[in-house]
Amino acid sequence: MEANPMFMALIPPSYEPPLLAPTPDEVIEGHVVALTASYRAGLTRPLAARKAQLRQLRALLSDGLATLEHAMWLDLHKHPTEMYATEVASCLREIQDHLDHLKSWTSPMRVGTNFANFPASSHIVQEPRGVCGIMSTWNYPIYVTLMPLIGCISAGNVALVRLPTEGTCDHVSGALAYLMDKYLDPAVVRYVAGGIDATKALLRHPYDLLFCTGGATIGKVVARAAAETLTPTVLELGGKSPAIVHSDTSLEMTARRLVWGAFLNAGQTGIRPDYVFAHESIGPALVEAMRQAIVDAYGASPADSQSYGRLVNAAQFDRIERIFETDRAFLVHGGIGDRAQRYFAPTLLNFEGDYTAFAASACMQAEIFGPLLPIVYYHDVDEPLLHIATHATPMAVYIFTGSSAVKQFVITHSRSGSMCVNDVMVQVTNHKLPFGGMGASGMGAYHGRFSFAAFSHAKAVMHMSFLWDFRQRYAPYTPFARKLLGAVLHPVPRVWLWVFRVVVVLAIVGIVLGLTLR
């Protein structure tokens, strides 16, 4: 694929994206040993050291932007604006969030202490986990590589990063490796390149946390490896996220937002709307509006659009083509592909009211992860909710409606990692919200403070005093000790504590007023 002339002026004429050879097993072992030594030496404990590495990450993204744009165009035909909006900007915002709040997040949090331990004090201390393995993937390679790394560094850990698998976004992996070598301290961050052999070699070593972004297959591989050493994991796995379009929606805006989410990055997005349930009363109109929205976004020939992406490799093209050919009878838009260019057009498949054919279709057997969007009509909102409930829990559920009652009903009666009302995917851009799956779509969450928490251990600390010792807790036990322990340890309803505080405050006010009026 030729380089995009729009930004080639930013790339030195002699520039060649560095491609990587698989990392040998002995080098991976050396990385783990070196990172372990760095962590044990306390290099990442000081907040100043963490912030310095976060600023280096920011410099990596800012100074290396043209390098990354060029590599991304070669691998995924991703427009620079799309890359910045969906990958770089989020990372930059995340870095700033951690720089702004790191001091408060790392400060001990005081909590209450039970009466039996009076006069003790209690705190929660955020402790780094240690050596973390971060396993990236290829669909948003900058985002899914650096976003967890930000939280990892912020929390005071060291990281071994598995770059996206070879044979996918090789130019971006090479660019990331080049920039990481240039900007990041190898005592804190190192990387591994390669395919399944490199992944197996990486997983043979012990870690204090494994963070993996990918599909269910790699998620299970990581979970099995982690189980051998009881290593905690965060798994971001995707899944089939549904969109429900109710009868009272804004058709034009709904169609535009669905098309944007479904075909961004050529459909290779883990939280894309993977299928659509449209109310039967507006189904045909919605499909027509979506057809027009595709033309508005990518033109009559998306192959000629610089804003439309490409499938990552020939294997991905072949998989999408097989799914499409099986369901070709339901084609209403698109369906054109070019294997040599890894191009497959934005494609709509309308099953209308035939739920049986929809459920049995090739599109509905697994996450599509490509530019195919099946649509089926429903009569009552219970129908899509039943479908969601009887299948693997999705990463997200999307509902388009103007009705507060319908919105609340869907929120209450559906399970998912996240939810967005009247739009798709934008919930991931709010770093005040946790991002993560549930069940088959993953475990754990990150972004913002949730990233810091994911890569930290909340250590309970209680400070006891020598001024008082509750002797009845010691042997030998007596009837009096039993009664006293029963009274002290008896659970107290929260409302009693509230009433007690009010009485104490009123008593103090009464005493003060009494002394004042004398």
Active site residue 228: no
Residue keyed to tokens 């967890």: 148
CB 200 within 8 A of CB 192: no
CA distance readout (Å), 23 to 134, 194, 199: 15, 6, 10
> What stretches of 107-233 show up as alpha helix (H) in DSSP?
141-154, 170-183, 196-203, 216-228
Q: Could you check whether the bond before residue 242 is cis, i.e. omega within 30 degrees of 0? A: no
For residues 67-81, one letter each, b for 16 or more C-beta atoms within 10 angstroms of the residue's C-beta and e for the rest, the string is: bbbbbbbbbbbbbbe
C-alpha–C-alpha distance, residues 313 and 308, integer Å: 15
Residue 518 corresponds to which tokens in the numbers above?
A: 């004398």
Query: Rounded to 5 degrees, what are φ and ψ at 374?
Result: -80, 145
DSSP secondary structure letters along 211-240:
EEES-HHHHHHHHHHHHHTT--EEEE----
327, 331, 333, 335: CA torsion to nearest 10 = 40
- DSSP class of residue 157 equals -
Q: Among residues 69, 166, 236, 367, which one is catalytic?
A: 236
- CB burial of residue 403 (10 Å; 0-12, 13-18, 19+): middle
| Contact between 268 and 312 (Cβ < 8 Å) | yes
Catalytic residues: 236
